[in-house]
C-alpha cells in the first residue's frame, strides 16, 4: 500500500470518527427550509421559480441558516435571496393585467408563466409540477433547435416568454397585452423578444399531449424568428421554412401533426392528421406535387393546408439529407436573400436541382403506408 493512500485512509477514518460540532446541519450552517415540502422544485432546467421565491422563510433558496449553531449565512446566501427578490419584481408588470399572483419559472432560454392547476400527465398533476415539467420540455426543444441550426448562445437576443392558461379570459388578456392581437386559442409575437400564449381549451387541445404538441410547434416558431437577427421568415416569403420546421418537430416527436397556423386569423384547422410521409410520397409518385418555387415563395399566412405538407417535406429533406446546411439556409432566407441565392450559398444548388433532389429523397425515404408512431 502506498504511503499516500495509507495516510489518506487514516485521515478518512479520523474524520469519520470525529462527530460534527453541530449535528443538526453537519456543520454546513444550513438546514432545509421548514416549508420545503410545499415548494420543492423539480427538474434541472429551472434557474428561478416564483413559487419557491415567494417563501417568506427561505426566499427560494430552499434552505435556512441552522437554528442550532447559528452560523453566519454569509454574502452568497444574501445574494441568492436578492436575486430571487429581483426576479419577483420583474414579474410584477406581467401580473399587473391579471391582478393576482401567478406562477412563473425561468430557465436559460425561457420564461414560463403557467396557470394550469392540474394536468393528466406524470409530473403535471399540480400547478407547481406542471410549471417545471413544461419548462424542461421547452428547454429540450431549444437544445434540438440549437443543434439543428448550429446556433451559439449569443445568436439569441432574448429568452422566449411562454404563457399557458386554463381560462379563456386570461388568454384573451395575455394575447392583447403580450402578443398585441386578439385570440381565444393561441397567439404569438415573433422576433427579437418572442412571446407565445396558449389557452389549454379541452374542446380544442383535447388532452395533455396536444397541449405539449402545441407548445413544441409554437416555441419552434419563436426560436426560428429570434435566432441571429430577430427576423421572422414567415412574412418575407420564407413561410415554408417557418411552418415546415414547426411541423418537422411535431412529426419527429409525436408522429402526427395537429397544428396549422394562420397567423392573422389565428385559426387552427384540423386537417390531415397523422403521418404526412405517405401523402407526400403519393403526390410525388402521381406527379401531383406542387412546384417548389410556388410553395417556397409564399408567406406563412398564404400557405394552404396542402402547401404545409410540402413545406414540411422540404424542411425534412434538408434536415435529413443536408443537416449541416439547414442553419446556413435558414439564415440566408432570414437575411432576405432571394431563394435562388440562398440555395446557391447554402447548398450550392439551383431551385430546380433542389426540387429534383427532394423528389428522389421522397421516393427513397417515404413509404406509401403509414408508419407506426416514431
Ligand atoms: Zn418551483
Ligand atoms: Zn422556503
Ligand atoms: Zn448547525
Ligand atoms: Zn405554425
The protein residues having their C-beta less than 5 angstroms from ligand 1 (an ion) are 41, 49, 51-52
pLDDT in tens, 186-215: 999 999 999 999 999 888 788 899 999 999
Radius of gyration in angstroms for the set of CA atoms belonging to the chain, rounded to a whole number: 25
Q: In the numeric block, which cell numbers belong to residue 105?
A: 419559472
DSSP state of 290: P
Q: pLDDT digit string (tens) for 179-188? A: 999 999 999 9
Cβ–Cβ < 8 Å for 321, 358: no
Distance 20 CA to ligand 3 centre (A): 9
Return the domain boundaries, the chain: 257-374
pLDDT digits (tens, 9 = 90+) for 252-285: 998 888 766 654 344 445 455 667 899 999 999 9
- Closest ligand to C-alpha of residue 46 is 1
Q: What ligand has the least distance to the C-alpha of 136?
A: 1
Axis-axis angle for helices 351-365, 277-285 (nearest 10): 120
49 phi and psi angles, rounded to 5 deg: -140, 125
Q: What's the 243 CA to ligand 4 centre distance in angstroms?
A: 5
CA 128–ligand 1 middle distance (angstroms): 6
* Residues near ion ligand 2 (Cβ under 5 Å): 33, 35, 55, 57-58
Q: Write the Ramachandran bin of 77: left for phi over 0, alpha for psi from -120 to 50, otherwise beta.
A: alpha
Query: In this predicted model, what pLDDT tens digit does every residue of 25-34 receive, in sequence order?
Result: 999 999 999 9
Ligand nearest to the CA of 269: 4
DSSP 8-state secondary structure symbol assigned to residue 27: T
Q: Residue 16 Cα, ligand 4 centroid: separation in angstroms?
A: 60
Cell 414547426 locates to 246
Query: Which of 252, 314, 256 has its CA nearest to residue 283?
Result: 314
Question: What is the percentage of the chain residues whose pLDDT exceeds 70?
Answer: 90
Let me know if 1 is exposed, middle or buried by CB neighbors in 10 A (0-12, 13-18, 19+): exposed
Strand partners, 223: none
Task: Return the ligand number nearest the Cα of 257.
Answer: 4
What does the block give as the cell for 48? 428561478
**Judging by DSSP bridges, how do beta strands 103-106 and 48-49 pair with one another?**
antiparallel
- CA dist 157 and 334 (Å) reads 15
Q: Separation of 78 CA from ligand 3 center, angstroms?
A: 18
For residue 26, the ligand closest to its alpha carbon is 3
What is the number of helices (H) and of strands (E) in the chain?
14, 8
Amino acid at each position: 500500500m502506498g504511503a499516500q493512500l495509507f495516510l489518506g485512509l487514516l485521515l478518512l477514518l479520523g474524520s469519520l470518527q470525529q462527530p460534527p460540532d453541530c449535528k443538526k446541519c453537519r456543520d454546513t450552517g444550513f438546514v432545509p427550509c421548514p416549508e420545503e415540502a410545499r415548494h420543492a422544485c423539480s427538474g434541472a432546467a429551472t434557474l428561478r421559480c416564483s413559487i419557491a421565491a415567494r417563501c417568506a422563510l427561505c426566499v427560494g433558496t430552499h434552505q435556512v441558516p441552522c437554528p442550532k449553531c447559528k452560523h453566519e449565512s454569509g454574502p452568497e446566501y444574501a445574494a441568492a435571496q436578492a436575486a430571487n427578490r429581483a426576479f419577483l419584481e420583474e414579474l410584477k408588470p406581467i401580473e399587473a393585467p391579471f391582478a393576482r399572483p401567478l406562477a412563473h419559472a425561468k430557465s436559460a432560454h425561457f420564461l414560463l408563466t403557467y396557470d394550469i392547476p392540474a394536468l393528466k400527465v406524470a409530473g403535471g398533476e399540480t400547478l407547481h409540477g406542471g410549471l417545471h415539467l413544461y419548462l424542461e420540455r421547452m428547454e429540450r426543444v431549444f437544445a434540438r433547435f440549437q443543434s439543428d441550426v448550429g446556433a451559439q448562445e449569443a445568436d439569441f437576443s432574448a429568452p422566449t416568454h411562454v404563457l399557458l392558461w386554463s381560462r379563456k379570459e386570461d388568454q384573451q388578456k395575455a394575447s392583447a397585452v403580450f402578443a398585441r392581437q386578439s385570440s381565444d386559442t393561441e397567439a404569438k409575437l415573433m422576433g427579437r423578444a418572442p412571446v407565445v400564449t396558449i389557452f389549454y381549451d379541452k374542446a380544442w387541445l383535447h388532452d395533455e399531449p396536444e397541449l405539449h404538441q402545441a407548445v413544441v410547434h409554437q416555441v419552434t416558431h419563436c426560436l426560428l424568428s429570434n435566432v441571429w437577427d430577430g427576423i421572422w421568415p414567415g412574412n418575407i416569403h420564407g413561410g415554408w421554412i417557418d411552418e415546415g420546421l414547426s411541423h418537422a418537430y411535431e412529426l419527429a416527436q409525436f408522429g402526427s401533426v395537429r397544428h396549422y397556423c394562420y397567423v392573422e386569423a389565428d385559426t387552427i384547422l384540423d386537417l390531415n392528421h397523422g403521418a404526412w410521409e405517405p401523402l407526400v410520397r403519393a403526390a410525388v409518385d402521381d406527379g401531383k406535387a406542387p412546384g417548389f418555387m410556388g410553395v417556397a415563395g409564399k408567406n406563412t399566412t398564404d400557405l394552404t393546408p396542402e402547401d404545409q405538407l410540402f413545406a414540411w417535406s422540404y424542411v425534412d429533406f434538408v434536415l435529413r439529407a443536408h443537416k449541416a446546411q439547414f442553419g446556413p439556409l435558414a439564415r440566408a432566407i432570414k437575411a432576405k436573400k432571394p431563394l435562388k441565392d440562398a440555395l446557391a450559398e447554402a447548398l450550392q444548388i439551383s431551385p430546380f436541382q433542389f426540387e429534383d433532389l427532394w423528389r428522389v429523397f421522397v421516393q427513397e425515404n417515404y413509404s406509401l403506408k403509414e408508419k407506426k408512431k416514431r
